[in-house]
Amino acid sequence: MNTRTKANRRIAILLVMPVICGMLAFLPLTSSAASNEVELAAIINNFDPGNGGPAVGQLMAEANTANHTVTVLRGAAGARNSLELDIASGVTVIWKAEHYGWTYGGGLIGLSGEGTLEVAEGGTLINYGTDTAVAGHSAHSLIKVSGGILGAADGYAITTDDDSSVTISGGFVFAAGSGDAVLIPDGMPLVTDFGIVCGWKKSAWLVAYPEGTADDLTVIPADSAKWYRSGDLCGILYTNGLNVGFFPVSGISLYAKSDGDPAVFVPYKVKVTVDSLNIRKGPGKDTAITGTITDRGIYTIVDEADGPGAAKWGKLESGKGWISLDFTVKYQGGSSDLSGATQKPSSNPSAQPTQTPDPGATKRPVIMPGVEATKNPGTVISLQTPTPAPTKLLVEKNDMDKELQKP
């Protein structure tokens, strides 16, 4: 190769180098990869909740690389530290554990990456601190609620950055504060199927409301939640199809509406006493038959009305129609049963329910986790007091509310 050829090549390289450097300046910087299933399970299992217990091992998660899922089966009580999850695209963390705490920055659960966090049936995530329960820090995180409870005592239940997706198809999402339970850039979460979102716009730490109303509550869908008393506890009764439960809230009292106010109907349960009971389209024997009950089962009545053919007609919770209450008896599954139509709330507005103290603060209302209604047989609300967890109500919904689809 002659000297002139070598010189020409050197000149060509010198001319190309600035172009290459300019192109490199516009290339995006690479960041560390988000965690896969195995890595996420290890992060969760090694998480230190900061609650005075073991530094690791309180949470338990299992990875399934075939399905690209990580299922959380055990949470921690009284967590003080935020659990940060960087979820890779295509990976879903399914939360089926009870996990609550008092965090004050970053959320009880913090999300990044382009993966999905799904709160499923059996899962409970509640932050009692002045912070959110689930905070999406990434612009492309996906947050789903298909069951369970997601709540915040003083803030938002869910917050996200731009372009994040929030879908609520089941469970109960609740937050006390501004009245909005979810804060996302476009303003509204996607609520479908049996999902319920409820925000309490509290005007004071200690307040009194007329029972059966939705005063200071912002509810999606409308009329799916209202103030309700169950025994000595005050809280929110929520109902949307098969999604039925009671969510206790301390720091409030409920009182009966005055005689001049419209009557407040409280759902109750009945047991059918005949082998065949028609379900009709409306409250009257002159309306069309939409089905038949043949199991002598237990059903929830959500409204009453007068009509021909019966002393009183009751509307089924399933929405399939009305039945004659002449062939039913009111079901009393226990002293704390949801058959509250016979229970009269105290007329004393100052009466306060039992409160569970917040170990990290004083004079702050404490939201106590409710548990989503299940389809297991039985209708008794059993009152449980775990330690150190807050008082919890388990509402067991009878699945008898599936009327036969007969023409």
DSSP element (H, E) containing 15: helix 3-26
- The pLDDT value recorded for residue 353 is 33
- The pLDDT value recorded for residue 23 is 45
Compare 293 and 19 and report the one with higher pLDDT. 293
pLDDT tens readout for residues 107-122:
899 999 999 999 999 9
Among 6, 32, 397, 13, smallest CA distance to 239 is for 397
Phi, psi of 57 (to 5 degrees): 90, 0
- The pLDDT value recorded for residue 391 is 30
Burial profile 293-308: b = 16 or more Cβ within 10 angstroms, e = fewer: beeebbbbbbebeebe
pLDDT at 338 over 60: no
* Cα–Cα distance for residue pair 194/174, rounded to 1 Å: 15
Q: How confident is the model at residue 368 (pLDDT cuts 50, 70, 90)?
A: very low
- The pLDDT value recorded for residue 162 is 74
- The pLDDT value recorded for residue 258 is 61
pLDDT at 374 over 70: no
DSSP 310: E
Q: For the ranges 269-278, 306-315, 350-359, which has the lowest average pLDDT?
A: 350-359
Average pLDDT of the chain to the nearest whole number: 76
Are the CB atoms for 116 and 123 separated by under 8 Å? no
* Cα–Cα distance for residue pair 404/279, rounded to 1 Å: 9
* Sheet containing strand 225-230, strands side by side: 225-230, 233-240, 243-248
* Cα–Cα distance for residue pair 46/87, rounded to 1 Å: 16
* Cα–Cα distance for residue pair 185/162, rounded to 1 Å: 6
Residue with the two structure tokens 């509402």: 395
* Coil, strand or helix at 287: coil
Bridge-based pairing of strands 277-280 and 268-272 is unpaired
pLDDT at 46 over 90: yes
- The pLDDT value recorded for residue 157 is 95
Are the CB atoms for 125 and 151 separated by under 8 Å? yes
Q: What is the mean pLDDT of residues 303-309?
A: 88
Q: What is the mean pLDDT of residues 219-238?
A: 91
Are the CB atoms for 318 and 403 separated by under 8 Å? yes
Share of the chain above pLDDT 90, in %: 48
pLDDT tens readout for residues 133-155:
999 987 788 999 999 999 998 88
- The pLDDT value recorded for residue 365 is 42
DSSP 186: T
CB atoms within 10 A of CB 315: 20
Contacts of 103 (CB under 8 A, 6+ apart): 79, 80, 81, 82, 127, 129, 131
Contacts of 182 (CB under 8 A, 6+ apart): 156, 157, 158, 159, 166, 168, 173, 175, 188, 189, 197
Compute the Cα dihedral for 276, 376, 367, 181 and give only its sign: negative
